Amino acid sequence: MLYLGCPQWSSSHWKGRFFSQHCSNANMLSEYATMFNSVEGNTSFYANPKPETVMQWKNTVPDDFKFTFKLPKLISHELALQNCQKELDTWLNLFAPLFDKIGMVMLQLPASCGPEHLSRIQSFIAQLPRELCLGVEVRNLAFFRKDDNERRLNQFLMSNGINRIMMDTRPLFSEAPSTPAIEDAQRKKPRVPVNVIATGNRPMLRFVGCSVLEHNRPFYQPWLKKIDTWIAEGKEPIVFFHTADNYDAPLLARQFIQDLGIEHKVLRPFPAEQQPKQQSLL
């Protein structure tokens, strides 16, 4: 099983291109779920949704759809994983109705969180329910040096079945900052080495593409074989495709699947492609 998606499910730019022309904001998740079977729920990083919103998300998507939600920035960045049991319990209770549709809970750590904080990371993770699939994204360069610091992190993740999230931003940084969107993305996205490793059963790749779709092929070519291998091993990879403004993210995901050569719902006509074209009156 391959879980595929984008870093969001709603975008006004997708109306008439991927979503149907008159798709309302309330129907975007429903139409998105006809194209993909997973999504990054980045909104949870910034604020907690209302309980009724969580239930609406749960009831909108099919049974085989899996969300990835980030733990709040309040916990991972502002409180730095310390003295946050109350905040964590609040978040877990809020999202509990969605647990069966959560493919992964993502702990995204700031660049300031380095090997000297490994014991803090371990203590925090021990507070999480074991039934949740967890992914950890590190951005401190000391975790990418193939030394004892990285080995200790990887060994801890592997021994606990926790996925080390991989981020490939090479395509984004391969082009000049020729638009405000590219400039903004290059300022915000981490420029970390590509670390290819499956420490758990759901290896996650976050691929940040460049603006010309075809130019992404040399960058993701090695990933095709790796993901094919993981699927053959019984793993369930999760792959999310970003672009600077995510305008063409669904097209990049479709191109990737076409090159991977497996069946996936993203290859079916998008809702916008299913709409009958208006006949000219002339």
- pLDDT of 280 > 70? The answer is no
The residue with tokens 């490793």 is 197
Please report the pLDDT score of residue 88 as a whole number. Answer: 97
Tell me what percent of the residues of the chain surpass a pLDDT of 90.
93
- Over residues 171-202, the pLDDT tens digits come to 999 999 999 999 999 999 999 999 999 999 99
Confidence of residue 117 (pLDDT cuts 50, 70, 90): very high
User: For residue 12, is it within any domain?
Assistant: yes
Boundaries of domain holding 210: 3-273
User: For residue 36, is it within any domain?
Assistant: yes
CB 125 within 8 A of CB 194: no
Confidence of residue 144 (pLDDT cuts 50, 70, 90): very high
CA gap 141, 148 in Å, rounded: 13
- Which CATH number characterizes residue 120's domain? 3.20.20.410
CB 195 within 8 A of CB 229: no
User: For residue 279, is it within any domain?
Assistant: no
Amino acid making up residue 233: E
Confidence of residue 44 (pLDDT cuts 50, 70, 90): very high
Residue range 104-117: average pLDDT?
97
Confidence of residue 277 (pLDDT cuts 50, 70, 90): low
User: For residue 31, is it within any domain?
Assistant: yes
User: For residue 225, is it within any domain?
Assistant: yes
Kindly give, in sequence order, each residue whose CB lies less than 8 Å from that of residue 67, ignoring residues fewer than 6 positions away: 38, 39, 41, 57, 61, 98, 101, 102, 103
CA gap 13, 31 in Å, rounded: 14
DSSP alpha helix (H) spans, 78-128: 85-95, 118-125
Question: Has this prediction a pTM greater than 0.75?
Answer: yes
Confidence of residue 122 (pLDDT cuts 50, 70, 90): very high
Average confidence score pLDDT of the chain: 95
| Count of structural domains within the chain | 1
- Over residues 149-166, the pLDDT tens digits come to 999 999 999 999 999 999
Confidence of residue 276 (pLDDT cuts 50, 70, 90): low
User: For residue 191, is it within any domain?
Assistant: yes
User: For residue 46, is it within any domain?
Assistant: yes
Please report the pLDDT score of residue 274 as a whole number. Answer: 85
CA gap 195, 227 in Å, rounded: 14
Task: Write out the two tokens for 10.
Answer: 């709603």
CA gap 168, 208 in Å, rounded: 6
Three-state secondary-structure class, residue 240: strand
User: For residue 280, is it within any domain?
Assistant: no
